[in-house]
Amino acid sequence: MSEPTVTTHRAEVVWKGTKQDLRAHTIRLAEQTLNCSSAPELGGNAALADPEELFVASLSSCHMLWFLYLAQRERHRVLAYADHPEGTMDGTRFVGVALRPRVTFETEVAPELIERLHHAAHAACFIANSVRCPVSIEPPSA
């Protein structure tokens, strides 16, 4: 078994608080700049992304990318993938994140295979493997 590859990931976070939002800041990732604030409950601008939303989104994105990779590896073509994840905090920390992916395949795929792909994607997700709170994958509602 080969040694894992060590990688480094960077971002640039710059505070630019204004009279309208003392929590305003930007996050630069690759060639993109995201305007951010704190959560509205903490006095931030609800129209801007907050760190808690970014955390929930990063878990969802990581899971999705692994799911797509694993489905492709098994030669199952995904036509669409959408998720509306939700994270719950107890006031000081995340106590859980629920992923709610909805996947459309080119051909009919057995529910057992979809469940297996989600399980494997969850196990492979670097971010899910790095957090302390539980991350669940909720099945599609009927």
Q: Are residues 18 and 60 in the same domain?
A: no
pLDDT score of 141 more than 70: no
Q: What is the pLDDT of residues 16-30, one digit of tens each?
A: 878 888 999 999 999
pTM of the model: 0.91
Identify the band that residue 1 occupies on the pLDDT scale cut at 50, 70 and 90: low
Q: Are residues 89 and 99 in the same domain?
A: yes
Give the rounded percent of residues in the chain with a pLDDT score beyond 90: 87
For residue 52, give the DSSP letter: H
- In the chain, how many domains are there? 2
Q: What is the CATH number of the domain that holds 120?
A: 3.30.300.20
Q: What phi and psi values does residue 46 have, to the nearest 5 degrees?
A: -65, -20
Q: What is the pLDDT of residues 18-77, one digit of tens each?
A: 888 899 999 999 999 999 999 999 999 999 999 999 999 999 999 999 999 999 999 999
Domain extent at residue 111? 50-142
Mean pLDDT of 93-105: 97
CA 95/CA 89 separation, integer angstroms: 5
Q: Locate 36 and state its tokens.
A: 């951010």
Q: Locate 1 and state its tokens.
A: 């078994």
